[in-house]
Structure 1
Amino acid sequence: MAESAAPAGMWTPGQARGLLAIGAHRYLLALLVRKELRVRYQASVLGLAWSYVKPGVQFLVFYFVMGSFLGLSRAISPFAVYLFSGMIAINLATEILGNATRSIVYNAPLVNKIFLPRQLFPVSSVFVALVHFAPQVVILVLGALASGWLPDLVGLAAFVVGVVIVLALSLGLGLLFAAVNVAYRDIENVVDLVLMVAVWFSPVLYAWTFVRDALVHHPWLVQLYLANPLTAAVELFHRAFWWGAATETDRVSGVVDHLWAHAGLALALSALALVVGDRVFRRLSRTFAQEL
């Protein structure tokens, strides 16, 4: 006898539906996000204030090393806004990817005991990262305003597109690596190595023209560098917060040429990463309980 189709709005129990199932489990997602935040800051004196302290210390180190000692603050002005706008984009990406990669293994007791969409665990990493991202954006806006920045609609659009690229790319790769990490725990160490050097492969600490000039005889390497979705995302953040405070001379050297074309490519690659990551995750999630 053929199996009857489920009524509209319902699905077979225990059947993985990928990211499509997240909307129907918003309450569980909220619980997971609160759990992650509570566990992370348990017995912590500063608590959520660490989301200010960590990027603040990172910013000061980079600013004095790259800006003062190596003189980039004279080449890119205002360098503080340029640096911090790129930093928060990369920090958002690295936090999502790192936490999402470990999310299934760290939540093994829940995965083994009850059925719920496994995608909830990597997705909860996105919302935890956004909780940390929000105060950093507030600090960036205040610093940019103090530097003479004037917001504009194009800049607002650049910020939104940049955030979408970072979220889609990081979640897509996070889903992929989280699924593979269940069987091969070396993956999280590989991801740690990638995250360690990620800041150097995007124009966060320097202008992209440095790469263009250094690789003048290898234009294909420059195009490969520009094809990195995080490069486009960082430059979109620069367009959103730094452009309005920079001089005309700095604007020419500080933002990638044909930025919106590169942003379109980055969006396409990030969407592809999200689709592939979700499909791989759905396929491998069938054996998570046995592997854990």
Structure 2
Amino acid sequence: MINPAPPDDLAGFSVPGSGRGILEVFRYRYLLRLLVRKGTQTRYHGSALGWGWSYVKPAAQFVIFYVVMGLFLGLHHGIENFPIYLFSGIIVVNLFSEAFSNATKSIINNKALVKKIYLPRELFPVADVFIAFVHFLPQLAILLVVLLVVGWVPTLVQISGVVLAILIILTFALGLGLFFGALNVSFRDAQNLVEIILLFATWTAPVLYPFTVVRDALPTWLFELYMLNPLTVAVELFHSAFWFPTTAENMERPAHLWLLAGIAAIVVAAVMVVGQFVFRKLEGRFAQDL
């Protein structure tokens, strides 16, 4: 009779399908690069304009908002250089919307891989967030070209604000994407809920209007809560870096913006922790539910 192997001989093994969460993604950097490359190369595959759509779509969105909100409704009054104000906010919301939406659908879209082999499931939402960032770069390039034409000279503080805003948005979108992406595997209603959330995204940040409109219309406590929204903070960091330097000095900016940015960073870190926790709890059912 053969005696079973002692428990110590199993120390080098791990339970199939388990991992260390999002930290394990860094061990699969090559595969992550492949997923990002595949996502960016196939996005406009077969289209006549190809990557030109990355410029056409935000430009069309800007024209619609500028004509309807700026000219027809007169919201451009009191906002100097309204086109720069508008576009610098639009691209932030576009980055959040694409990253959040793609991360939510990432497990469903890669169900063939999820069901057949073990990979850190977090690879898919992380890759989709990176893909959204790559598609964001052409929009940022358009804004930078316009700013340089009007004489914008960047400073270290402004660049730091832009980098911080991008990190806040990407982390926020990834945390929410992990949460809703895990729920979306078992309950496809989650995807519909995300679409509703994104419908409000443009309106819950000072993109089409100045923050002073909200301050004057809401009670102080509700306005302060509005200003703690990470999307609001990211938009205002972009405004502070790109729009405010092109205006007169008497234009009002949010008070304690860097303090708000620090609080927003803590909020998105908490969202990331919650999203990772829920994702880890539910990922054992992914293959079964798919």
- TM > 0.5 fold call: yes
**What are the Cα deviations for residues 51-93 of structure 1, in whole angstroms up to 9, with x where unaligned?**
1111010001111112222223331111111111111111101
Whole-Å separation in 1 of the counterparts to 2:282 and 2:8:
25
Q: Is 1:99–1:122's contact at 8 Å kept on the other side of the alignment?
A: yes
**Which of 171, 174, 177 is the matching residue for 1:171?**
174
Q: Which residue of 1 aligns with 2:72?
A: 69
Q: Is 1:22–1:120's contact at 8 Å kept on the other side of the alignment?
A: yes
Q: Is 1:150–1:245's contact at 8 Å kept on the other side of the alignment?
A: no
2:44 corresponds to 1:41: yes
**What are the Cα deviations for residues 161-204 of structure 1, in whole angstroms up to 9, with x where unaligned?**
10111011100000000000000000100100110110000001
SS of match in other structure, 2:118: coil
The letter for the 1-side match of 2:261 is: A
Q: Which residue of 2 aligns with 1:135?
A: 138
Whole-Å separation in 2 of the counterparts to 1:55 and 1:6:
53
Larger Rg: 2
Whole-Å separation in 2 of the counterparts to 1:189 and 1:264:
31
**Which of 249, 268, 271 is the matching residue for 1:270?**
268
Q: Which residue of 2 aligns with 1:261?
A: 259
Whole-Å separation in 2 of the counterparts to 1:61 and 1:123:
31
Q: How does 1:86-235 map to 2 (within 5 A)?
A: 86-215=89-218, 218-235=219-236
Q: Which residue of 1 aligns with 2:239?
A: 238
SS of match in other structure, 2:254: coil
SS of match in other structure, 1:15: coil
**What are the Cα deviations for residues 84-105 of structure 1, in whole angstroms up to 9, with x where unaligned?**
1111111101100001101101
The letter for the 2-side match of 1:246 is: T
Whole-Å separation in 1 of the counterparts to 2:224 and 2:159:
26
SS of match in other structure, 1:202: coil
Whole-Å separation in 2 of the counterparts to 1:208 and 1:6:
57
Specify every segment of 5 or more residues in structure 1 that has no aligned partner in the other structure, as ranges.
none
The letter for the 1-side match of 2:272 is: L
SS of match in other structure, 1:248: coil
Q: Which residue of 1 aligns with 2:249?
A: 248
CA distance 1:5–1:90, change in 2 (3 Å)? farther
SS of match in other structure, 1:154: helix
Q: CA RMSD in A?
A: 1.6
Deviation at 1:210, TM superposition (A): 0.3
Whole-Å separation in 2 of the counterparts to 1:142 and 1:198:
26
Whole-Å separation in 2 of the counterparts to 1:247 and 1:53:
31
Q: Which residue of 2 aligns with 1:16?
A: 19
The letter for the 1-side match of 2:247 is: A
How many corresponding residue pairs?
285
Higher mean displacement: 206-215 or 43-52: 43-52
Whole-Å separation in 2 of the counterparts to 1:274 and 1:231:
18
Whole-Å separation in 2 of the counterparts to 1:156 and 1:5:
51
Whole-Å separation in 2 of the counterparts to 1:126 and 1:202:
20
The letter for the 2-side match of 1:198 is: A
SS of match in other structure, 2:120: coil
Q: Is 2:17–2:284's contact at 8 Å kept on the other side of the alignment?
A: no
Q: TM-score of the superposition, structure 2-length normalised?
A: 0.94
Whole-Å separation in 1 of the counterparts to 2:193 and 2:150:
39
CA distance 1:149–1:116, change in 2 (3 Å)? same
Q: TM-score of the superposition, structure 1-length normalised?
A: 0.93
Whole-Å separation in 2 of the counterparts to 1:105 and 1:277:
17
Q: Is 1:126–1:167's contact at 8 Å kept on the other side of the alignment?
A: yes
Q: Which residue of 1 aligns with 2:32?
A: 29
Specify every segment of 5 or more residues in structure 2 that has no aligned partner in the other structure, as ranges.
1-5
Q: Is 1:17–1:282's contact at 8 Å kept on the other side of the alignment?
A: no
Q: Is 2:40–2:134's contact at 8 Å kept on the other side of the alignment?
A: no
Identical columns (%): 51
The letter for the 1-side match of 2:230 is: P
